[in-house]
Amino acid sequence: MVYRLLIFDLDNTIFDYDRAENFALDKTFEQFGLQTSDEIKLSYREINEQNWKLFEKGEISSEKLRVKRFEDFGEAHGFRWNALDVSSAYLKNLGLGGFIIDGADELLLRLKADFMLAGLTNGISDVQRSRLANSPFEGIFNPIIISDEVGVAKPDPAIFALLLEKAGVSNKTEVLMIGDSLSSDIAGAIASGVPSCWYNPAGGEQPVNIKPDFIINSLSEVFEIVYREE
């Protein structure tokens, strides 16, 4: 087999982040006595995405991101709330949403017999640790690197270097990064000299400036890639 170490992104690659986010928004709005709707949720997601892009560029910290998105969202809709309190409630609810992408459990439980498996996420520590602890994946990833805990995030090559050091793997050709985000997972892997596999279940168009080594629409396709002969 070509690869020794398989690195997995967590959100929307292993965990169904979109479903967890929807669950957390409903619970949080209910706690604060607010009505929710598809339009309101879409607005939050747009504001959240804008703030995550700032985080990926290193322009704001994780601590700033988690509150600022609710400050921006509240201002946009005239909500009179304490953004810090809303953020705390939301993160607690998000950590309860350990929904799994279809096929992820079968994939990881099979791969762990033949490969080193690592997790690499830009997620918030409390949320990711909570979901992992309440999933079938507790202990499968070694190491598990969470940007919130190490002070550097994808796509910065430094976080990839840290993971490889902790995994004890120096030959990058024996490593494969698997993730759904072109801007963080794939761009970061390419910048680090690590082969990459873009998980693209929605069939999104590939930009010309980011070229993963593999593109898959289903997690089951990972088997074909990693068990192929050199």
Q: Determine the pLDDT at residue 57.
A: 87
pLDDT in tens, 176-217: 999 999 999 999 999 999 999 999 999 988 888 999 999 999
Q: Is residue 125 over pLDDT 70?
A: yes
Average predicted confidence (pLDDT) for the chain: 94
Residue 23 confidence class, pLDDT cut points 50, 70, 90:
very high
For residues 143, 223, 190, 139, the Cα torsion angle rounded to the nearest 10 degrees is -10
Start-end of CATH 1.10.150.240 domains in the chain: 17-96
The whole-number average pLDDT for the span 107-112 is 96
> Where do we find the tokens 């976080």?
159
Note the CATH number of domain 17-96: 1.10.150.240
Q: What CATH architecture does domain 5-16+100-226 belong to?
A: 3-Layer(aba) Sandwich (3.40)
Euclidean distance between CA atoms 102 and 197, whole angstroms: 18
Q: What is the pTM of this model?
A: 0.90
The DSSP call for residue 174 is G
Q: Which residues of 158-172 are buried (b: 16+ CB within 10 A; e: fewer)?
A: ebbebbbeebebeee
Euclidean distance between CA atoms 22 and 98, whole angstroms: 12
| CA distance readout (Å), 33 to 54, 78, 79, 118, 214 | 30, 14, 11, 40, 46
